[in-house]
Structure 1
Amino acid sequence: MPWKSKKQRNVEQVARQQRVREDARHKRRPSRDDLARVLLWQMITAAQGRKDARLALDKLSEAIVGELERQGFDIRESEDVFEELADRYVDGLVPFRPKRHLVPV
């Protein structure tokens, strides 16, 4: 059996990935990123609700930024992103855009 060309493998991969996405959408299955966004939002809003909110947010920031630094991201940029998210989440409102494909018809 001859090897498939790289172009043919890529075409098949695109079709396979599209089926995976459509199946996930049909099943209303959240992605890893969906889960991570909700978890981070819950952690930040929970930390802000504590008496020692600044200390709790600083500990959370240190843990997250430390891991991002280990992965090669810039520390200052990572801290800035975390602080922007924490500021955005301060009101406690759900900050996520609705996913129209999940809204019941």
Structure 2
Amino acid sequence: MARKSKKQRNADQVVRQQRVRDEAKARRRPSRDDLARMLLWQMITAAQRRRDARLALNKLSEAIVVDLERQGFDVRESEDVFEELADRYSDELFPFRPKRYLNPRSTVFPPHR
């Protein structure tokens, strides 16, 4: 049996990946990015509620930025992105759009605590 061409392997991969995404959607399974986004939002809003909010945010930022730097990202750019997210999350309102395909009636989110 001859090996498939790279073009055919890529086409097969597209089909497999679409099937994986469709199955995850049908099962309402969150992606790794969905979990990471939610965790970061919870961590930032929890830090902002502390009495020493600026210190807590600085510690969180430093921990994240150090690891991003280890991956090769620019420190200043990483700090800027973190600060932009912290500012965006500062009102503690749920910042994510509803995933209407998961539950069309779920348009109001309970407050995070």
Counterpart CA distance in 1 for 2:86 and 2:8 is 45
Confirm whether residue 88 of structure 1 aligns to residue 96 of structure 2. no
Q: What corresponds to 2:5 in structure 1?
A: 5
Q: What is the aligned length? A: 105
Distance 1:80 1:104 in 2: 35
Partner of 1:47: 47
Q: State the match for 2:56 in structure 1.
A: 56
Q: Larger RCO: Structure 1 or Structure 2 (Cα < 8 Å, ≥ 6 residues apart)? A: 1
Q: Amino acid of the residue matched to residue 86 of structure 1?
A: A
Give the C-alpha shift of residue 97 in structure 1.
1.2
SS of the residue corresponding to residue 100 of structure 1 reads coil
Offset at 1:101? Answer: 1.3
Counterpart CA distance in 1 for 2:50 and 2:100 is: 34
Give the % identical residues: 78
Please report the RMSD computed on the Cα atoms of aligned residues, expressed in angstroms.
Answer: 0.9
Structure 1 stretches of at least 4 aligned residues deviating more than 3 Å after TM superposition: none
Q: Structure 2 length as normaliser, TM-score?
A: 0.90
Tell whether 2:50 aligns with 1:25.
no
Unaligned runs of 5+ in 2: 106-113
Counterpart amino acid of residue 72 in structure 2: G
| CA deviation vs aligned residue, 1:18-66 (integer Å, no higher than 9, x gap) | 0000000000000000000000000000000101110000000000000
More helix by share: 1
